[in-house]
């Protein structure tokens, strides 16, 4: 392996197979660190990471914070709950304020698509996208691919089903870009009201019923149905959603016997996933959470310069 670093992590779109593979390989290394008695390495000592979260998040931020602490970075949480306009400050001024703190890495979660890219053009810190609007959630896709790879060996040719609200899901988008690049056979399913146009152009197969998507699948990933979208015009109610799109034990039998069941969390039991499936033998949902820390350590490490990796290889 040659020395390798990432300037930023804005999205999975455009990232090549080799880069994704290297990130996942490095995550393997950090996963091993996470199993040690002392889980802390000095890789990011003296590096300031600012977690800039302009949208509620507990899990993703906690996962990033653990990753940062295990890498010995200095961390600062900078939260806000609204857009720049509501605060009466432009996004450019927000960027300048962040820049003035001289962070080395800025982890960004924002409700508007495109904000991490905007910040990468205005701030000298390395930017890590922790979710921007409906656009991308690249570390989630990386941890998902990491979990799949651990369980299946490789992603090439594996049938992966992603079921739920594809239109409004940054998790789905990042996984689409990543899994297609990695050679998976990707099938998406959801009510037609939640399926965006042009999916075939992205190299995936779209279905309006769950069954053809999960049939013979190696991976079944269920997306969270957002309660706030219920009762409007996307679908009638949670009962009907579960009836036609929920992952039940019965339906899971359509997939390969050793198929894994994934969910980015938090789950709505009885809406997109039956409790028996969520707790069943095939679920790897908590593995995903654990891998999240390792993948985020890898990403933070790489955007910080990636020196250790080449040292290690020497």
Residues 220-279 close enough to bind another protein by CB under 8 A = none
Number of amino acids touching another protein (CB under 8 A) = 30
Q: Are 188 and 207 in contact (CB under 8 A)?
A: yes
* Shortest distance (Å) from residue 115 CB to another protein: 5
State the CB neighbour count (10 A cutoff) for residue 155. Answer: 24
Which of 140, 167, 201, 156 lies closest to 12 in space, CA to CA?
140
Give me the residue label for tokens 């998507």: 213
Q: Is 80 in the site for another protein (CB under 8 A)?
A: no
Say whether residue 134 binds another protein (CB under 8 A). yes
Classified as helix, coil or strand, 153 is coil
Closest CA to 163 of 219, 202, 216, 233: 219
- Closest contact distance (angstroms) between CB of 117 and another protein is 6
Tokens of 78: 């900078």
Binding residue for another protein, selected from 16, 37, 192, 201, defined by CB under 8 A = 201
CB nearer to another protein: pick between 129 and 147? 129
If binding is defined by CB under 8 A, does position 53 make contact with another protein?
no
Among the residue ranges 15-23, 89-97, 257-265, 283-291, the one whose residues contact another protein (CB under 8 A): 89-97
Look up tokens 């390798």; give the residue: 4
Q: Which segment (58-66, 105-113, 146-154, 276-284) binds another protein by CB under 8 A?
A: 105-113
When asked if residue 149 is in the footprint of another protein (CB under 8 A), the reply is no
Token digits for 182? 């990695």
Q: Report how far residue 144's alpha carbon sits from residue 218's, in angstroms, rounded to the nearest whole number.
A: 13
**Cross-strand partners of 219:** 160, 260
Q: Which residues bind another protein (CB under 8 A)?
A: 13, 83-85, 90-93, 110, 112-115, 117-118, 121, 132-136, 167, 170, 173, 196-199, 201-202
């Amino acid at each position: 392996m040659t020395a390798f670093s990432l300037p930023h992590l804005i999205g999975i779109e455009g990232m090549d197979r080799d880069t994704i593979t290297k990130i996942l390989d490095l995550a393997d290394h950090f996963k091993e660190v996470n199993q040690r008695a002392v889980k802390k390495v000095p890789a990011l000592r003296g590096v300031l990471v600012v977690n800039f979260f302009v949208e509620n998040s507990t899990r993703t931020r906690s996962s990033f914070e653990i990753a940062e602490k295990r890498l010995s970075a200095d961390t600062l949480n900078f939260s806000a709950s609204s857009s720049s306009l509501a605060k009466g400050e432009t996004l450019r001024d927000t960027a300048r304020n962040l820049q003035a703190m001289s962070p080395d890495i800025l982890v960004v979660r924002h409700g508007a698509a495109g904000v991490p890219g905007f910040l990468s053009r205005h701030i000298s810190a390395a930017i890590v996208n922790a979710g921007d609007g409906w656009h991308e959630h690249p570390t989630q896709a990386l941890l998902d691919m990491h979990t799949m790879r651990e369980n299946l060996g490789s992603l090439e040719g594996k049938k992966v089903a992603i079921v739920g609200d594809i239109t409004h899901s940054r998790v789905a988008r990042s996984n689409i870009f990543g899994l297609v690049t990695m050679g998976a056979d990707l099938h998406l399913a959801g009510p037609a009201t939640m399926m965006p146009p042009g999916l075939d152009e992205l190299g995936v197969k779209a279905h309006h019923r769950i069954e053809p998507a999960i049939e013979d699948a190696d991976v079944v990933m269920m997306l969270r149905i957002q309660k706030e979208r219920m009762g409007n015009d996307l679908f009638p109610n949670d009962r009907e959603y579960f009836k036609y799109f929920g992952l039940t034990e019965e339906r899971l039998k359509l997939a390969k016997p050793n198929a894994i069941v994934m969910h980015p969390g938090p789950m709505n039991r009885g809406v997109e996933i039956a409790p028996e499936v969520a707790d069943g033998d095939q679920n790897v949902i908590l593995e995903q959470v654990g891998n999240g820390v390792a993948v985020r350590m890898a990403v933070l490490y790489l955007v910080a310069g990636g020196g250790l990796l080449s040292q290690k290889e020497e």
